[in-house]
Amino acid sequence: MGWTPLHYIAYLGKVEAVRVLLQHDTSVTYDLDNAGESALHLAAFQGHAKVIDELVRSCPDAFDIINTKGQTALHAAVVGGRVNVVKYILRMPNLKYLINKQETDGNTALHLAALHRSYNIIFILAQDKRVDHLAKNKDHLTAIDIFDTYKEVCLLEHYRARFVHF
């Protein structure tokens, strides 16, 4: 795994322990584990907004950390299905550059929400005027294309299942 103590306590949501560790060394905030994740990514994935607050308070540029897939904390929150962290990031005016950031496959947060069928997050992102609904990933798909493809697959599976029962 290659986790530092900060990775463990960020994953578990231990705000006070994060604060104590960062008082001694803030550089660990930028360490990536063997899977390429930072403590910030783990906190976002787990939905620990208070841990994120502490990390960013100690390291204001922590939101610039990307994992080996080119993903930001917003991407991690979407993949983790963490509505609270998505809302938290969207409320921060200085983080608007994260909203349409594309990871290595060209997926934005909205693409990932569609891929993971996170309907609450899709709704939140789709309502935000800053979100580029027409952004295309490396497969030349918009989030709407991904969502529509999933609906078609589900419909086919539904009909296929009904046909087998006859």
Residue-range domains of the chain with CATH:
5-164 (1.25.40.20)
Average pLDDT, the chain: 90
The owner of tokens 């620990």 is: 48
| pLDDT surpassing 60 at residue 26 | yes
107: left (phi over 0), alpha (psi -120 to 50) or beta: beta
Give residue 156's pLDDT band: very low, low, confident or very high (50, 70, 90): very low
Of 54, 56, 72, 52, residue with least CA distance to 64: 72
* Distance from C-alpha of 144 to C-alpha of 166, rounded to nearest angstrom: 34
Predicted TM-score (pTM) of the model is 0.87
* Distance from C-alpha of 77 to C-alpha of 93, rounded to nearest angstrom: 18
Residues recorded for the chain: 166
Tell me: the pLDDT tens digits for 89-133? 999 888 889 999 999 999 999 999 999 999 999 999 999 999 999
* Distance from C-alpha of 108 to C-alpha of 54, rounded to nearest angstrom: 25
154 vs 44 pLDDT, higher one: 44
> What is the per-residue pLDDT for 150?
62
Q: What average pLDDT does the segment 5-10 reach?
A: 97
> What is the per-residue pLDDT for 93?
83
Tell me: the pLDDT tens digits for 42-62? 999 999 999 999 999 999 999
* Distance from C-alpha of 121 to C-alpha of 118, rounded to nearest angstrom: 5
2: left (phi over 0), alpha (psi -120 to 50) or beta: left
